[in-house]
Amino acid sequence: MGVRVDGFQVEVPAGASVLDAVRAAGVVLPTLCHDDRLPPAGSCRTCLVRVDGVVAASCVTPVDGHAHIECDAEDLRDLRRDALALLVSDLPPRAVRETHSVLAGFCDALGVDPGTARGTEDTAAAAVDDSHPYVHFDQDLCIACGRCVRMCADVQGTFALTLVNRGADTVAAPGTGGPWAESDCVSCGGCVDTCPTGAIFQPGLPAGAAASRSLPADVAVTRTTCGYCGVGCALEVASVEGRITAVLPDRDGPVNRGHACVKGRFAHGFLSAPDRLTEPLIRRGGVLEPVSWREALQHIAEGFGAALRDGGPDSIAAICSSRATNEENYLVQKFMRTVIGTNNIDNCSRLCHAPTAAGLTASFGLAGGTDSFDRIEQADCLLVVGANPVEAHPVVGARLVNLALSGAKLLVADPRAVGLAAHADLHLRPRPGTNVALCHGIAHVMVAEDLVDQEFLRDRATGLSELLEMLAQYPPDEAAAITGVPAADIVAAARMYGRARRPAIVYGLGVTEHLHGTDGVRALANLAILRGAVGTDRGLGIFPLRGQNNVQGASDMGALPDVLPGYNKVTAADARAAAERVWGTAVPSRPGMRIPEMFAAARAGRLRALWIIGEDVCHTDPDSNRVRAALDACPLVISQDLFLSETSRHADVVLPAAAWPEKDGTFVNFDRRFQRVRPAAQPPGQARTDFAIVHAIAGALGADLGCPTPAAALDECARTSAHFAGLSHARLDREGAIPWPCPDPGRPGLATLYADGFATLDGRAHLAAAPYLPPGEQPDDTFPLILITGRRLMHYNTGSMTRRTGNLDLDPTDRLDLHPDDAARHHVRDGRPVAVESRHGRARLIAHVTEQTPPGTVFCAIHFPGSGVNALTSDHADPVTSCPEYKVTAVRLSTEPEYP
């Protein structure tokens, strides 16, 4: 629609505000209570204009029905200046003179004299709450605009802040009272980003700079992608002379939309930790000693040479990293296949989302989520299974919370009452390891009550008759007996999902990390297929929440033992031929070893060299005592990492590597988007990027991998797989995030899959008739409890990064969550040490008695390796993918253990 602003005609969309029209005309108005991410408030009165002759606040006035907007009249400028001066008059002078705030900028632009600020300064020190490591609050600078309160509620969905007192004394405060650090704050930093006065600020930036983005002249800003979880948040990294001082969410971030979490936003202190590895180490006489890169590379070349002579190419293996860039993963798998001559290459997706790749490929044809998360707001029903995104993927979790608060039905399936469960319309709490039976019970009801899309099943799916025969065994009563979920809730869940107009499924490691994880993924896919909710406008398909920043990309790049880049099978002659044309050398045809097979081969004496990149396998992999035995048995172990990890302590060579803010390349996030990663700092000392290290090792063996730069590596990868043919660093720099498949450099990537057919051989979605099978372990009289492992908000994976930051102040100890009934039964007291013992090992944690965990089940995180949690877990693994069963381990508790 058209409207005139100061005589100029502008076009704005329907529903636009007068402020939108004014901005479209290029006019800048002060807006102290307004943030584009929040509903307008109209409380500060600094954005006054005249609309068809009537003075109004532009932020809350719709354009609809109005013809003329006036901004530049002298009386309007005076009104805006007076409103601003009135707000400033109660503030101390530093509010204008010493901050880089939005308020200070508007005072300068409107000519408000800094002397107008006449509030007292003598209480300044007492008014600042600096109890929190990342969020500080200067109460004297608060103008009670409410932006922080609304940001916490409307964007983050936490409701940790409120306005207290009355009249001129009104200020923001933590809703619980007391210090900020003891509040419900989840440390996302959203309040810092929106505060217009600098009252809420973060260390490392001038007060107010996060909201105004007015940074000192000596601060460089680098746009990159977060290297923590798989959400793929776009970040702006502030640095001074190569030292990172702060990280801010990119307001144009395609996935995070200007939001972030405590890890990506604040947990960067590990970069300057005093124990960063800065030089190569070689073990001599049982002790790791510093050496030059030349000596380290020569030692590796000699070790690889000896392994090739004594055991052949298949006696060497590499474990690549989901924390590494796509280009680094691509280069490692190319090195292993073309220089060493083996397919013994794997990555840590083996431990988490390998069943996702296998299950989604079998059901739909491609190894990734089916839709773009940009469309999630279109869903009217969310089925969230085995995921706690509020803690493990906080930016996604915040959007899901707000979607539920906006009216979408929320159905949560998780044994624990955490995160989204508090907002759920229906919370199903299945026994650990019974996901498949739960899905079959829901599917049974959907079929029985005709809550399925018959036309879709007829025209676009296959396997229905076999599925129907199998589902007959899972009526609600039978599914309830297996899962422990009441039959009535199973029926209600089926109706909620089946009757939704546009349902979406979101799942996490609670589906995949099971003995039958691939069956779990396929059982979920069955629900979407039955409903016709994939590849149509009647649903948003399935979103797997990837755990690490580049779990998707590492596998996409071919860092797997059975596939080349783009998931082309190594056993397929045409796929090998395509790669051979690009690489100029033969590619081995026999699939290589998976990670568990590598460890078994090492213990058996068949593996003679193991290169471990960016993974602490002694702490991340199950049955960790046997992992250590494997490393000790292998003649050459290379550990490439940021810190001297437990794995490094079992290594023969340790190489110092760069962290994600020190790298150039790309990551792929959970909904298949390629995004650029750019270096904001240099690696410390002699540390190198994984990309440079791979080239150096290849050079030490007399090989030239080509691809001199990460950009060149992605260009070469694009020639090996049609999925990536349209991608390049140059295009990503121009256009931003691009999803794969992207076969054409002149066309956008395919965000929503399967609208024109599925990528299976017959073009149909494949239903799976996999029956429920029990988990690998069951509780008994000796081990009466089931242990689930997972993540908590403040930490990430083994905690090697987050435990070296202020996050440790916010969550300093490992703990075991258990129900009050179990605590009483096992004589465990809250806050006291407790020993946890399984059939495989022991761990020691601090008891946390809570009803979030159901009776018979205990939970602990994986972030404090010193507790020995993965000594407890078994080597039971999904037979399709070898993904370990981290979610079901039988354990017992003791308050007086013996420790080795």
Q: Could you tell me which residues are beta bridge partners of residue 384?
A: 412, 506
Closest by CA position to 45, among listed 106, 94, 123: 106
Q: At what angle do helices 710-720 and 573-583 cross, to 10 degrees?
A: 150
The two beta strands, 281-284 and 161-164, are unpaired
**pLDDT tens-digit readout, 881-892:** 999 999 999 999
pLDDT digits (tens, 9 = 90+) for 780-835: 999 999 999 999 999 999 999 999 999 999 999 999 999 999 999 999 999 999 99
848-885 pLDDT tens trace:
999 999 999 999 999 999 999 989 999 899 999 999 99
How many whole angstroms separate alpha carbon 347 and alpha carbon 558?
A: 10
Q: What CA–CA distance (Å, rounded) separates 900 from 816?
A: 20
Residue 556 to residue 718: CA distance in whole angstroms: 11
pLDDT tens digit sequence for 161-216:
999 999 889 999 999 999 999 999 999 999 999 999 999 999 999 999 999 999 99
Quick one: three-class SS letters along 363-432?
Answer: HHCCCCCCCCHHHHHHCCEEEEECCCHHHHCHHHHHHHHHHHHCCCEEEEECCCCCHHHHHCCEEECCCC
Q: Identify whether the C-beta of residue 22 lies closer than 8 Å to the C-beta of residue 69.
A: yes
Q: What is the pLDDT of residue 119?
A: 65
Strands 542-544 and 503-507, sheet pairing: parallel
For residues 859 and 615, give the distance between their C-alpha atoms in angstroms, rounded to a whole number.
23
The pLDDT of residue 67 is 79
pLDDT digits (tens, 9 = 90+) for 486-514: 999 999 999 999 999 999 999 999 999 99
Whether 900 has a pLDDT exceeding 60, the answer reads no
Are the CB atoms for 493 and 411 separated by under 8 Å?
A: yes
Question: Cis omega before residue 741 (within 30°)?
Answer: yes
Q: Are 117 and 167 in contact (CB under 8 A)?
A: no
pLDDT of res. 64: 86
- When pLDDT is averaged across residues 69-87 and rounded to a whole number, the result is 94
Strand partners, 248: 236
**pTM exceeds 0.75:** yes
> Percentage of the chain with pLDDT > 70?
98
Q: Alpha-carbon distance 135 to 133, whole Å?
A: 6
* CA nearest neighbour of 359 among 520, 557, 200, 215: 520
Q: Where are the alpha helices (H) located in 739-847, listed in sequence order?
A: 807-810, 820-825
Annotate 638-656 with three-state secondary structure: EEEECECCCCHHHCCEEEE
Question: Measured between alpha carbons, how far is 326 from 723 in angstroms, rounded to an integer?
Answer: 14
